[in-house]
Amino acid sequence: MDRMGVEICVEGLTKSFGHQVIWQDVSLTMPAGEVSVMLGPSGTGKSVFLKTLVGLLKPERGSITIQGRDITKLRERDLYEVRKLFGVLFQDGALFGSMNLYDNIAFPLREHTRKSESEIRRIVLEKMDMVGLIGSEDKLPGEISGGMRKRAGLARALVLDPEIILFDEPDSGLDPVRVAYLNQLIVDLNAQIDATFLIVTHDIASARQVPDNIGLLFRRELVMFGPREQLLTSEEPVVRQFLNGRMQGPIGMAEEKDAAQVEQELAQLADPAPDQELTPRLLPGPGITRPPRWQAIADREAALHRKEVADA
């Protein structure tokens, strides 16, 4: 495919429910065709951010610009057109329990296009092949594993050839092995279709390996958003605490720690150097043709590995 996804530019975005501010003044740019991850403790509004991006929730302030249009200001009819750019993988796959996998995946094509059944069949089988589900067309969602349901949901998100794909906690409910397979699938898909990906997740291993860019929501603000290397080597206490999954730092059970307590905890930490190690980037698997962007990433990773070996 020749397309490269689309850039998403968010400026000064604020979302509240009544008097409760979920997050405020969020500004970031997700580069076209790249994989971005949004992290944050539970209850920081990561899923709300996804729903706002796709126009399901309206923010109080700010703009979301996609292909030159601010979707926060569009009428419903125009918003419907913009939504065609999006594919969404929901936490539970959101499959229809009474439909087999083939009909679940074909549903958007039958609902939103006038394609013939033979054309629909070609597209559905192509997407099922991409996610490794060929042979499971007649199975019902209740007859398959959670990992297979996620992949079926992903195939359905792909059938309209979206330029932006949103993943809402794709690793929830999966064991570590299935998460590793899903991460590889996400990287392979990005190399194949070049859409812009945004993944909301709690999984730190995924955040270290999969994305080009990482963002962190905490205490109603976007603490940071930037290239993966910048976040993984950041000195920002909340970023380092979250990425290293430790108790010492600003995040508490109730997300309330005073500054003096945080300072004391951080002072007691041993040598912080191990935190700063860069996890190797996950690359497209064997048989996946690497487009120029992914080849540049692979070359950079190889150069880093050679440097580490030379320094050892």
**Residue ranges of domains in the chain:** 8-234, 235-277
Q: What's the rounded Cα separation, in Å, for the pair 148 and 162?
A: 21
Q: Which of 85-89, 98-102, 236-240 has the lowest mean pLDDT?
A: 236-240
What band does 1 get if pLDDT is binned at 50, 70 and 90? very low
Q: How high is the pLDDT of residue 254?
A: 58
pLDDT digits (tens, 9 = 90+) for 20-61: 999 999 999 999 999 999 998 878 899 999 999 999 999 999
CATH among 3.40.50.300, 3.30.1440.10, 3.40.50.620, 3.30.70.20 for 8-234: 3.40.50.300
Q: Which two tokens stand for residue 135?
A: 């042979």
Residue 71 phi/psi, 5-degree rounding, is -70, -15
Q: How high is the pLDDT of residue 242?
A: 84
Q: What's the pTM?
A: 0.88
pLDDT digits (tens, 9 = 90+) for 133-184: 999 999 999 999 888 999 999 999 999 999 999 999 998 888 899 899 999 9
Stronger pLDDT, 97 or 90, i.e. the higher one: 97
Length of the chain: 312
What band does 11 get if pLDDT is binned at 50, 70 and 90? very high
Beta bridge partners of 216: 39, 224
Relative to beta strand 86-89, strand 164-168 is parallel
Q: How high is the pLDDT of residue 307?
A: 78
Stronger pLDDT, 174 or 312, i.e. the higher one: 174
Residues with Cβ within 8 Å of 124's Cβ and at least 6 positions away in sequence, in order, are 102, 105, 106, 109, 155, 159
Q: Which two tokens stand for residue 184?
A: 């590889």
> Contact 13/63 with Cβ under 8 angstroms?
yes
Share of the chain above pLDDT 70, in %: 90
Beta bridge partners of 261: none
Residue 66 phi/psi, 5-degree rounding, is -130, 125
